[in-house]
Amino acid sequence: DTGVSQDPRHKITKRGQNVTFRCDPISEHNRLYWYRQTLGQGPEFLTYFQNEAQLEKSRLLSDRFSAERPKGSFSTLEIQRTEQGDSAMYLCASSSASGSREAFFGQGTRLTVV
């Protein structure tokens, strides 16, 4: 499978715990994006990387959220001290900086905070 891969697919955690999600982009894509989607809404942009550099962060990304892409390949999104409002689908996407530039999405990680 050469698409965007996310792990885990589902995560249930207790409020206050930390969680980490992983995204493996399409191998030739140098741009990687994180989105959050809640029920009945379109995805909302959180942050994006070009290679290993984090170029933009949304105001939605509070201090409890941190994302990394240390070697310009896979990325991790960590949420510290989870709150019930963090329950959502977390989507990762990747794209190329040139040529056909549309973003391709992974299957997402569904987070439930109880």
Partner 1 sequence: EDKVVQSPLSLVVHEGDTVTLNCSYEVTNFRSLLWYKQEKKAPTFLFMLTSSGIEKKSGRLSSILDKKELFSILNITATQTGDSAVYLCAAPTTDSWGKLQFGAGTQVVVTP
Binding-site ranges for partner 1 (CB under 8 A): 4, 31, 33, 40-45, 48, 50, 55-56, 89, 91, 93-95, 97, 101-108
Closest CA to 89 of 66, 65, 112: 112
Closer CB to partner 1, 63 or 102, in the complex: 102
Cβ of residue 4: shortest distance to partner 1, in angstroms? 8
Closer CB to partner 1, 1 or 14, in the complex: 1
Contact 36, 91 (CB under 8 A): yes
Query: How many CA atoms lie within 13 Å of 76's alpha carbon, on the beta-carbon side?
Result: 10
